[in-house]
Amino acid sequence: MRKPCCEKKETNKGAWSKQEDQKLIDYIQKHGEGCWRSLPQAAGLLRCGKSCRLRWVNYLRPDLKRGNFGEDEEELIIKLHALLGNRWSLIAGRLPGRTDNEVKNYWNTHLKRKLIERGIDPNNHKLGHYSTTATKSCVLNSNGDDKCSPVNSNGNENNAGSNSSTDQESNHKSSLPDLNLDLTIALPLMEG
DNA sequence: AAAGGATACAACCGCACTCCC
DNA sequence: TGGGAGTGCGGTTGTATCCTT
């Protein structure tokens, strides 16, 4: 059995204080990101590494774009969700300054409802019938073809019981707009 | 003005993946 | 090559704030 990521005792939980934020910012500015497990002790924080990483990534990073989502961002999220399903980190990767957590929250609180109001099922982006199950994931290959398959709530491809999946896939495919999105993943630029 | 419900979002939890020995 | 450690991701929960009655 895997050990917990950190000892439950001796760690703070819940909302971060200004002092804790400042300690984390100071430490990362001096030493950079990485080695989250040992960071809390080194930075003098009574938090688990996971919690520190989450706080930094979702809230403290200087390049974050705080505030409301623009309409263009909303539409992009909707389109990307139609293609990728609940792959929030991939979706957030296409939105500079936004985090996966932020995108996920915004989807759950705003965009889901928006689609429902438009008569679109937020799970499969089909017009007309709303269901609470399967979303889809689509992969663009190098030929520009797209390959779509149902995914479950874990984001895994659902290959089991695929009797009617081909019909559903073709229906889904034809109901999707031509998004013409470039989903190639760029390698990070190497400095130096 | 107060109570209860709805909403928004920060944070936690647990699983899965990758890396390294 | 197997196993453990570290990390990332998505789902879920907790709570503060706003809104309605």
Domain boundaries, chain A: 18-60, 67-180
Q: Which nucleotides of B are covered by protein (CB under 7 A)?
A: 7-16
As a rounded value in angstroms, the CA-to-C1' distance for A49 and C4 is 18
Q: Supply the pLDDT for residue A30.
A: 85
User: Is pLDDT above 50 for A78?
Assistant: yes
Domain A18-60: CATH architecture, name and number where available: Orthogonal Bundle (1.10)
User: Is pLDDT above 50 for A182?
Assistant: yes
Kindly determine whether the C-beta of residue A101 is less than 7 Å away from any atom of nucleic acid strand B: yes
pLDDT band at A40 (very low <50, low <70, confident <90, very high): confident
CATH for A67-180 is: 1.10.10.60
User: Is pLDDT above 50 for A64?
Assistant: yes
Q: Supply the pLDDT for residue A50.
A: 87
For A104-158, write each residue's pLDDT tens digit: 889 888 888 888 777 887 777 777 655 443 333 333 333 333 333 333 333 333 3
For A11-25, write each residue's pLDDT tens digit: 788 888 888 889 888
Kindly determine whether the C-beta of residue A106 is less than 7 Å away from any atom of nucleic acid strand B: yes
Kindly determine whether the C-beta of residue A154 is less than 7 Å away from any atom of nucleic acid strand B: yes
The reply to whether A18-60 and A67-180 are identical in fold is: yes
Separation in Å, CA A2 to CA A16, A37, A142: 27, 15, 39
For A97-106, write each residue's pLDDT tens digit: 898 899 988 9
Task: Tell me which residues from 37 to 76 on chain A have a beta carbon below 7 angstroms from nucleic acid strand B.
Answer: 47, 50-51, 54-55, 58-59
Please, are residues A80 and A113 in contact by the beta-carbon 8 Å criterion? no
> Which residues, by CB, come closer than 7 Å to strand C?
A 2-3, 5, 14-15, 34-38, 49-50, 53-54, 86-90, 100-101, 104-105, 108, 153-155
